[in-house]
């Protein structure tokens, strides 16, 4: 089990989030209890309940925490060149999860509970909307710059998200080591179909 990529772990909340991550990796979502999170935290269950009334509240905060961290890594992308930026976004969306298999597993477990837990549903929806918005913006930028053809950017963003979600699901459910390489190749093939058709005569 890999630890979460390091950022600052300076306050109690950060420590509880790390403890939740470790407890999820060890026990899985189905067998997760506040007691097990407290054991990882090294304090009593009361110390957790001081901050969170229920396990669902804690896990909703954990989803916020993970999704905020992901947004931060997107904001770290500095290039504004549309194709390079799209490639870097796909790297983060497709390569990183592979490095944290336990994280991808627990996210799918929580995702599968979204039909029963509105607090989970809302967070996944907000996150998906944010990532699709980011993808759509870079594709529209590429269209404006003449890098991509006049494609439907909304559909293009949905296409890339479907590939990403498909790969994550296949990695978890089937333990398919080809899931992420296939998805990366699909994304590259798709991008080649939306690239602006080059003029056959030199300028």
Residues in contact with its own copies by CB under 8 A are: 28-30, 105, 108-109, 111-116, 121, 124-125, 128, 155, 158-159, 161-170, 172-176, 178-179, 182-183, 185-186, 189, 193
DSSP-based three-state secondary structure for 195: strand
The CB-of-24 to its own copies minimum distance in angstroms stands at 12
| Residue among 51 and 185 whose Cβ is closer to its own copies | 185
The CB-of-32 to its own copies minimum distance in angstroms stands at 11
The CB-of-39 to its own copies minimum distance in angstroms stands at 19
Torsion of CA 63, 90, 155, 136, to 10 degrees: 80
DSSP-based three-state secondary structure for 148: strand
| Residue among 77 and 114 whose Cβ is closer to its own copies | 114
Q: From CA 133, how far away is CA 115, in angstroms rounded?
A: 23
| Residue among 51 and 155 whose Cβ is closer to its own copies | 155
The CB-of-101 to its own copies minimum distance in angstroms stands at 8
Give long-range contacts, CB 8 A cutoff, 24+ apart: 185-194.
Answer: 187/90, 187/94, 187/160, 187/163, 190/156, 190/159, 190/160, 190/163, 191/83, 191/86, 194/139, 194/148, 194/149, 194/151, 194/156
The CB-of-83 to its own copies minimum distance in angstroms stands at 19
Q: From CA 94, how far away is CA 104, in angstroms rounded?
A: 11
| Residue among 9 and 149 whose Cβ is closer to its own copies | 149
| Residue among 116 and 199 whose Cβ is closer to its own copies | 116
Report yes or no: 4 and 65 within 8 Å, Cβ to Cβ.
Answer: no
Report which DSSP code applies to 152.
-
| Residue among 38 and 186 whose Cβ is closer to its own copies | 186
Residue 3 tokens, joined: 């630890």
The CB-of-179 to its own copies minimum distance in angstroms stands at 7
């Amino acid at each position: 089990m890999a630890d979460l990529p390091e950022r600052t772990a300076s306050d109690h909340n950060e420590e509880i989030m790390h403890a939740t991550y470790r407890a999820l990796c060890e026990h899985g979502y189905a067998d997760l209890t506040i007691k097990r999170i407290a054991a990882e935290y090294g304090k009593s269950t009361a110390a957790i309940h001081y901050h969170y009334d229920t396990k669902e509240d804690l896990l909703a905060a954990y989803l916020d925490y993970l999704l905020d961290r992901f947004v931060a890594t997107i904001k770290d992308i500095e290039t504004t060149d549309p194709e390079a930026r799209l490639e870097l976004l796909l790297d983060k969306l497709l390569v990183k999860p592979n490095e944290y298999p336990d994280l991808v597993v627990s996210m799918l477990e929580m995702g599968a509970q979204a039909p029963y837990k509105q607090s989970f549903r809302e967070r996944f929806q907000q996150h998906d909307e944010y990532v699709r918005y980011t993808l759509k913006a870079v594709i529209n930028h590429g269209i404006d710059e003449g890098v991509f053809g006049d494609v439907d950017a909304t559909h293009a963003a949905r296409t890339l998200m479907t590939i990403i979600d498909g790969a994550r699901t296949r990695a978890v459910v089937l333990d398919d080591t080809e899931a992420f390489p296939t998805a990366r190749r699909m994304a590259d093939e798709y991008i080649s179909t939306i690239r602006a058709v080059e003029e056959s005569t030199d300028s």
